Amino acid sequence: MAKRFRSQDQSIRFNVKFGEASSDLLTGFLVNVNKRNKDKLNSLAKCSGSFRDKRLMEYIFLMTKELRLEPLAGYHAIELLQRFMVRHLTHLLTTPTTQGVAAAQPRSYEDVIFDKIKEKFPLIVFSCVQIASKLSLHSHVIDNNTAVRFLRSVGHSVSKQTLLESELMILKGLEFRLNVPNPLTYVEILLEVLGHNESSIPVECLYDLCHHVLQFVSLQRTSIYDTLLNVTTQCVSPSSEQREKFVTVIEDCMLLGVGVIAVATFIHCVRKWEQVVAELSHITGISTRSISDFAHVTLMHIVRRSSSLTSL
């Protein structure tokens, strides 16, 4: 796998050195993440993706930057939050409650549950970031002293005991299964394999650009995938059934990874565009048409966004 290291520049810059992994190791990594991606797509919950809201993801990205964490920790925190909240809410909403408790409530049981979650949610989000920092060997680990100071600075006064309880709740909710590939993991592995197969492709340069593209896609997720749905179905107003089927496309990290690399390639060295798309298709089995559609839609949104900002 790509070798991660922190640069001597103390402005929180993390780098990845490619070309260090053997062919067998790369094959193992690729097979593993591909299987895990397919397993996830085959068992999607109804509310998959609900906690990848633009404002929430932006909040996590800003938090990781403020806490001097590498970007990988932010994407990992988002995955932990998504998985935990789906499990946690499912458990709360399906756990039977006594009739006396239900009768004593003037509102519905669901409203009471959501109100309780609302109170704890900022701490849950932070705990996911803190756990993610502990899983990364190259980031600052967010200890409880730092955590208390940071939360106080943004208006949340909590004790160290409360922090520990929040972390433990998430760990138990996830059954201590924390090693989950995130979108940036897919990008890094695919770039490593791409550089191994085609040495003429400047994967180090593409990697820096991929960070920006992936963050853009993450923050503009709804609008980009809505446009991609229209392109895929060739329909301005897709049906509910088409939208339901399209969830597997939205949650496909392998497609996201190749799409991000394709966009970065088009921006950085368009002459290698077709070569890279063909090689990514060969590596993943995703059609060149699907990769191209994703890239074209994303590039269209980047241009629109740039134009709107320029006109301000």
Contact assessment for residue 192 and residue 283, using Cβ atoms and an 8 Å cutoff: no
pLDDT 10s digits, 141-178 = 888 999 999 999 988 888 999 999 999 999 999 999 98
- At residue 165, the pLDDT reads 94
Start-end ranges of CATH 1.10.472.10 in the chain? 47-173
Position 95 pLDDT exceeds 80: no
Residue 8: predicted pLDDT: 44
Tens of pLDDT, residues 208-225: 999 999 999 999 999 999
Note if the pTM is more than 0.85: yes
Of residues 216 and 24, more confidently modeled: 216
User: 174: exposed, middle or buried (C-beta count within 10 Å: 0-12, 13-18, 19+)?
Assistant: middle
Instruction: Give the CATH architecture of domain 47-173.
Output: Orthogonal Bundle (1.10)
At 309, is the pLDDT very low, low, confident or very high (cuts 50, 70, 90)? Answer: low
Query: Got the DSSP string for 257-306?
Result: HHHHHHHHHHHH-GGGHHHHHHHHHHHH---HHHHHHHHHHHHHHHHHHH
